[in-house]
Chain A
Amino acid sequence: MIATNVRRLGFYLMLSFALVSGSVVWWQVLEAPALATRADNPEVIAARRSLLRGTIFDAGGQVLASSEVIDGLSRRTYTDPAFTHVIGYSSFRFGSTGIERAFEDLLVGQADPNPLRQLVSDVLDRQPQPRDLTLTIDRRLQDLAAAELGENAGAVVALDPATGAILAMVSSPTFDATPISGDPDVAQEPMDALREDPSEPLLARSRQGTYVPGSILKVFTAAAALDAGVITPSTTFPDQPRQETEGFVVDGFPIREHDLGGVEPALWPLSEAMQVSSNIYFAHVGLELGGEAMLTYARRFGFCGPLEIGPPDRALSVAPSFLTEPADGDCGPTSGDAELASAAFGQGQAVATPVQMALVAAAIAGDGVMPHPYVVRDVRPHSENGTPTDEVLERFTSRGGTRVISTEAARQTRAAMVDAVNGELGRAYAGQADITLYGITEDRSAGKTGTAQLGGEQAPHSWFIGFAPAQEGGEPVIAIAVLIESGGSGSDRAAPIAGRLMAEYLAMRGSGG
């Protein structure tokens, strides 16, 4: 009979059932936690698609980004393209960028800013509570900055030097993020158009664009040299007047002055050298300072590595700026005196982001303390009606700053920058950044223009960094960096934009706006 064989078969089948049961346990128990958080988990995708995102308001409480759920699909609408490179986009297809990415969990309410409430919410398995964000940026200044840049490729970054609150951060050209954030099935085409656009609208020039800084870097060089004690405001270099016309040969590499526009070379101390933007003077300063000291100061100011806007766990990234040829993500050692001398006036291997240069201005305005920038002011419960709720769940404030140079060195640099805008010689270069031209009577501005030579046929980048109020006893409330890609001279293009924006901001504050 076959009964014995049947019993043996039973054993093998039992084994098979055990094996299959084991594989069910594997996925349902052992692997389940790992599966739950994978990005291609349809539950994660579906949950994200239908989650209401919180509203993002400007500092004045106006809606910049809002969501509504239509047919189970959360659709995001952005009201102001001037903010695209700050807020970023939240796309089901392309992921999220900018603030949408950095504050993702708060916006969709998967995290609570209060850890205790977060715990309660975890225990009760509550529905996510979307949160609204308020930015530190006032839409009026942001829009004005965007309008001033117009069709030009460029960027404006303005911040409060005392707190680090970003006041404006514009990258041009920009784009409307609404089409790529809506229905994932129709988002591909507008995204492709943006990707293929030769003007690179997707690039956040303010944070991710790195540009030869040119003469605006002389502010840094002066500050570092003054702090190190290698120069004083009255330091002069005897060979400098002669070299203004003949050139200054460093290591066989001739450094030439830019077109001084009829100004007679003379033995200039710091203020005059800053006003006429003497390359020769600052080449000497750089050589006096030395490569190692210059890079030490550069790192203190935030160069030579990535920067962040906002608290470290919710930061917008800023591309690193370098003074020398980068090596392993850091500034490499200077190759020689020629590179050092060029870097000292912002040429050579130097590249910087507009955010970095705005921070340099802020450090001078802040008496040597460089603030930690942030752009989100507070988190609130979600409001349905388009105006922020009164309750504030978490407030982001200044996280202090880092002292990069002494108060004295900062004050001396600041005086030279005030002269650069308001002084007899400086007016010819940076006079357009004088805020008294734009209706401000009580206060004065400080700053420095830059006309960054790119070599070849390319028109130079037009730069300006500065701050206001900058007069003796004035308390600076805005520090700014303006860049226009291949915009020509800093005096003509960037300086007037910076002047108008600083004046507008002072007027906004004055009128209690």
Chain B
Amino acid sequence: MRIAWRGAELRLLLPALLLVPLGFIVTHIALSGTFEPGPLELALGYVGLFVLAHLVLVAFGHRGDQLILPAVGAMGGIGLIMLNRLPQDLAGTRAFGLELGMAETQLLWFAVGIVAMLVIAIGLRDHGILRHYKYSWAAIGILLLAGTLLFGYEVNGARLWVNLGPVSVQPGEFLKIVLVVFIAGYLAETRTLLTSARMRIGFLSIPPLPYFLPMLALFGVVMLIIARLNDLGTALLFFGIFLTMLFVATGRRSYVLIGLLLFVAGAFVAYQLFGHVQLRVNVWLDPFADPLGAGFQPVRAIYALGRGGIFGEGLGQGLVTLGGGLTIPFVHTDFIFTAIAEELGLLGAFALLGFAAVLVFRGLRIAALARDDFGGLLAVGLTASLGLQTLIIIGGNTKLIPLTGITLPFVSYGGSSVLASFIMLGLLLAVSHRSAIGTDEEPRS
């Protein structure tokens, strides 16, 4: 074990983390009306977690990307500031004799997630291992999906949750990772065999069967998710991840186009068949038609965005309440971006989008620098997953696309989401580390 200093990471991490205690203090002053800092244990705990993660990476001589952790630290920090500002009884943990508020629970999950990230980033010396077991991953994925279908229960209309004793889990969050690993393995293998094979129908070149069949299979899974789990967001995300990876593996826009056409056709059929899909689309087209009924969620979110304006209303000074409750629905999960945009304004929203963009482009950089196809495709898939999820939920919050209930990675409240996102970071760091160390130390695959 050799120490490797990570100066850039530390220099970027510290100012990003300083935001968190600062945000807590501002929130406390605004909410209490007294000029006191208020309790800072959570904020300092958050700073400590990331500093510790940095030190562990240094101690183990990790040479993975140094911008990812600061970007995630800033995103999670903004999220934690907002979760701390919101009423703490929106969510929380009451298990194992513990009684934690929403922000405390989120910090706990950050701790769990960071540990998982470190274990994977440091422990996974050769990500090629993952590739060898790709069909096992597929089997695990199918089990996760089947479990959700069989035992899932509904929250907010979508059947995504599975109850495991005291903890509720969203298998979909972990299914995402399994899906990425499997597709990366599959494409890395077929890619070398079949780059030249090509069929044509008219102007469209049809993907050869080894690409086309898994596309169809995944398409089937996606439609199943829409029909049975009532979850448009996850379906869109899964298919988006697959098409992105297929594009990178083959470099063919037409495959993506075909995939998109399939998705649109499938979505159209779903629109015709399922009432809940129709409702979502109609509400998307004109939420103000029924501002207190079907359009309630998007309308309330849009008003919050408008209230924020460019500079925001200030932490603790926005978020209208009506009849004792906040007017933004699911403000700690699906609509946390809206709450941030209201209190921190367009500037805060852009900062958040900027950090997400940094994360995405560092992920793509890791993919481009990867020394093997599997590693590259894995990094692309993980990055696409985090990036598309961010785009889909913020696009939904701002009515750019129909609203779907998925989380904003590292920002929304939710243990499954936080843990899964950190596992993906760990994998990215592992791929990054492997390309950073010289060829002299590791054999080329």
A residues lining the B interface (CB < 8 Å): 1-10, 13-14, 16-17, 19-21, 23-29, 31-32, 34-36, 38, 40-43, 45-46, 49, 72
CB pair B367–A35 under 8 Å, yes or no, is: no
Q: A16-B391, A28-B310, A29-B309 are in contact. Are A3 and B368 (CB under 8 A)?
A: yes
Interchain CA distance A4-B252 in the complex, whole Å: 12
Query: Interface extent on B, as a size class?
Result: 35 or more
B306 interface contact, C-beta 8 A: yes
- The residue in chain A whose Cβ has the minimal distance to the Cβ of B360 is A13
B345 interface contact, C-beta 8 A: yes
Interchain CA distance A304-B302 in the complex, whole Å: 46
CB pair B305–A24 under 8 Å, yes or no, is: yes
With a cutoff of 8 Å between Cβ atoms, the chain A residues found around residue B382 in the complex are none
Count the A-B residue pairs with Cβ separation under 8 angstroms: how many? Answer: 132
CB pair A9–B306 under 8 Å, yes or no, is: no
The A-contacting residues of B in range 109-139, CB under 8 angstroms, are: none
Task: Name the contact of A24 in the complex, choosing from B327, B353, B357, B384 (C-beta under 8 A).
Answer: B353
B343 interface contact, C-beta 8 A: no
Q: Which stretch, B13-21, B34-42, B395-403, B417-425, touches the partner chain A?
A: B395-403
- The residue in chain B whose Cβ has the minimal distance to the Cβ of A42 is B327
Task: Name the contact of B306 in the complex, choosing from A20, A21, A32 (C-beta under 8 A).
Answer: A32
Closest-CB distance, A51 to chain B (whole angstroms): 13
Interchain CA distance A34-B305 in the complex, whole Å: 12
- The residue in chain B whose Cβ has the minimal distance to the Cβ of A73 is B323
Interchain Cβ contacts under 8 Å between A and B, 23 examples: A2-B370, A3-B369, A3-B376, A5-B250, A7-B364, A8-B247, A9-B380, A13-B387, A17-B391, A23-B395, A28-B309, A28-B310, A32-B305, A40-B288, A40-B292, A42-B300, A42-B322, A43-B303, A43-B327, A46-B321, A46-B322, A46-B327, A72-B321
CB pair B291–A40 under 8 Å, yes or no, is: yes
Closest-CB distance, B374 to chain A (whole angstroms): 10
B416 interface contact, C-beta 8 A: no
With a cutoff of 8 Å between Cβ atoms, the chain A residues found around residue B291 in the complex are 40
CB pair A20–B353 under 8 Å, yes or no, is: yes
CB pair B361–A10 under 8 Å, yes or no, is: yes
Closest-CB distance, A173 to chain B (whole angstroms): 33
With a cutoff of 8 Å between Cβ atoms, the chain B residues found around residue A34 in the complex are 306
Q: A4-B251, A5-B247 are in contact. Are A40 and B394 (CB under 8 A)?
A: no
With a cutoff of 8 Å between Cβ atoms, the chain B residues found around residue A49 in the complex are 322
The A-contacting residues of B in range 344-372, CB under 8 angstroms, are: 345-346, 349-350, 353, 356-357, 360-361, 364, 367-370
Closest-CB distance, B373 to chain A (whole angstroms): 6
- The residue in chain B whose Cβ has the minimal distance to the Cβ of A17 is B357
Besides A9-B364, A28-B306, 17 new A-B residue pairs in contact (Cβ under 8 A), listed by A number: A2-B367, A2-B368, A6-B364, A13-B387, A17-B356, A20-B400, A26-B398, A28-B305, A28-B345, A29-B310, A32-B306, A35-B302, A42-B320, A43-B307, A46-B320, A46-B327, A72-B324
With a cutoff of 8 Å between Cβ atoms, the chain B residues found around residue A42 in the complex are 300, 303, 320, 322, 327
CB pair A17–B353 under 8 Å, yes or no, is: yes
Query: Which residue among B248, B299, B353 has the maximum number of chain A CB atoms within 10 Å of its CB?
Result: B248
B249 interface contact, C-beta 8 A: yes
Interchain CA distance A20-B394 in the complex, whole Å: 7
* 0 or 1 for each of B39-78: is its CB under 8 Å from A? (1 = yes): 0000000000000000000000000000000000000000
Interchain CA distance A34-B291 in the complex, whole Å: 16
CB pair B364–A20 under 8 Å, yes or no, is: no
B residues lining the A interface (CB < 8 Å): 244, 247-251, 288, 291-292, 299-300, 302-303, 305-310, 320-322, 324, 327, 341, 345-346, 349-350, 353, 356-357, 360-361, 364, 367-370, 373, 376-377, 380, 384, 387, 391, 394-395, 398-400
Interchain CA distance A40-B321 in the complex, whole Å: 14
Interchain CA distance A41-B346 in the complex, whole Å: 19
With a cutoff of 8 Å between Cβ atoms, the chain A residues found around residue B357 in the complex are 14, 17
With a cutoff of 8 Å between Cβ atoms, the chain B residues found around residue A32 in the complex are 305-309
CB pair A6–B380 under 8 Å, yes or no, is: yes
CB pair B376–A6 under 8 Å, yes or no, is: yes
Closest-CB distance, B341 to chain A (whole angstroms): 6
CB pair B300–A35 under 8 Å, yes or no, is: no
CB pair A2–B305 under 8 Å, yes or no, is: no
Closest-CB distance, B302 to chain A (whole angstroms): 6
Interchain CA distance A4-B248 in the complex, whole Å: 8
Interchain CA distance A28-B337 in the complex, whole Å: 13
Closest-CB distance, A28 to chain B (whole angstroms): 4
With a cutoff of 8 Å between Cβ atoms, the chain B residues found around residue A10 in the complex are 361, 364
Q: A13-B387, A28-B309, A28-B346 are in contact. Are A23 and B322 (CB under 8 A)?
A: no
